Amino acid sequence: MAPKSYNVRVEFDVSETPSDTIISALYEDLARYSASVGSSPAGGLTVRLFLDADSPVDAGTRGVEYAQGALLNQGLYTTQMSGYEVITEEEFDRREAEPRVPELAGLAEVAEITGATKGRASQLRPALEQYLVQELASGPVYLAEDVRRFAAQEYNRVRGVRRTEIPLSPLERALLEALAAAEMHTEVPSPTPEHQVAGTAIEGVVGNGRQLQLHTSPADSGLTAALDTLIEHGLASTRKLFKKELRDLAAGHEDDLVVTLTIKGHRHADIDAVPAAAEAAGAQDTGADGGR
């Protein structure tokens, strides 16, 4: 078995944080392992290092040994280890890429997610009370994922909530349906040339998994105008790419947009959430009913 790269985090109980001189010496002792040294959330001392090993057990055993040896070299004889964790380098990178704070939603975001007006979003506060994270001077704050769940499972199934038809051009409807299908990893039921144009512009899923990278070139193309129409009708929202999302992009994609469909957008797309692979295998339709 070929060795794999692991990240080992070792936690120590300390009565007080070691001096900067000792911290610097620990860095030097463990430099070959790309180590980091700092305080833990519980107030202890954390030593994190990378090493190649045949297994997680081997990585953990050696990582603890190296970390303890470095502390002993600096005269920290009474320091007790409180625990350690071993993960692959790939898992470490995945965790680092996760946002430090989950996506939040105020009343403006509630309106966007539910497809309601801001006034109607304010009226939804009693129904959203169980999802409240904190009440600020500017208004309530919720977890965006909770609001999406509320919109899909409760709000859009309330008696009297119906889909009002919106006049869309063939390209506008094709873009809406292509975005919904790409997000849910399914296929457009009856693809047209317009769907092919829209599908070609969708680069993939980014962000929280519900956002799609859209490449339109030139900027004044028909897709740009179609996207503006979707935004005008509250079917979609956009943002620019974050710096970390730009790092691995090919030249010419710096002005790509990240598009998110609202719940209203999903209703009007009318695409069932059935993966294309499942359809090909003859799986039964388990998709959503569109929440009309």
Q: Cα separation of 250 and 235, whole Å?
A: 29
Under a CB-based contact definition with an 8 Å cutoff, are residues 48 and 35 in contact?
yes
Apex 103 CA angle, 101 and 108, nearest 5 = 135
Q: How far is the C-alpha of 137 from the C-alpha of 124, rounded, in Å? A: 18
Answer whether the bond into residue 191 is a cis peptide, omega within 30°: no
Spatial neighbors of 214 by CB under 8 A, at least 6 apart, are: 179, 201, 202, 203, 223, 227, 238, 256, 257, 258, 259
pLDDT of residue 275: 41
Q: What is the pLDDT of residues 224-237, one digit of tens each?
A: 899 999 998 888 98
Largest Cα–Cα separation, the chain = 75
Q: Which residues pair with 211 in a beta bridge?
A: 206, 260
User: Which residue, 163, 6, 216, is CA-closest to 93?
Assistant: 6
Within 10 angstroms of residue 259's Cβ, the number of other Cβ atoms is 24
188/104 Cα distance (integer angstroms): 31
The pLDDT assigned to 43 comes to 72
pLDDT the model gives residue 273 = 45
Q: Is 212 helix (H, G, I), strand (E, B) or coil?
A: strand
CA proximity to 9, closest of 25, 41, 100, 101: 41
pLDDT, residue 29, reads 92
Torsion of CA 184, 186, 190, 192, to 10 degrees: 80
List of residues 6+ apart from 76 with CB closer than 8 A: 14, 18, 22
Q: Answer with the residue of higher pLDDT: 15 or 58.
A: 58
Q: What is the pLDDT of residue 289?
A: 38
| Residue 8: pLDDT band with limits 50, 70, 90 | very high
> What's the pLDDT score for residue 52?
94
Q: What is the pLDDT of residues 180-192, one digit of tens each?
A: 888 888 887 778 9
Report pLDDT digits (tens) over 129-174. Answer: 989 999 999 899 999 989 988 887 776 544 444 556 788 999 999 9
Per-residue pLDDT of 63-111, as tens digits, reads 999 999 999 999 887 678 889 999 999 999 888 887 777 889 999 999 8
What pLDDT score does 171 carry? 93
CA-to-CA distance for 173 and 189, rounded, in angstroms? 13
The number of C-alpha atoms within 13 Å of 75 and in the hemisphere containing its C-beta is 6
Bridge partners of 202? 214
Question: In whole numbers, what is the pLDDT of the chain averaged over residues?
Answer: 81
pTM of the predicted model as reported, rounded to 2 decimal places? 0.42
Query: Mind giving me the DSSP string for 2-49?
Result: --EEEEEEEEEE-SSPPPHHHHHHHHHHTGGGT-EEEE-TTSSEEEEE
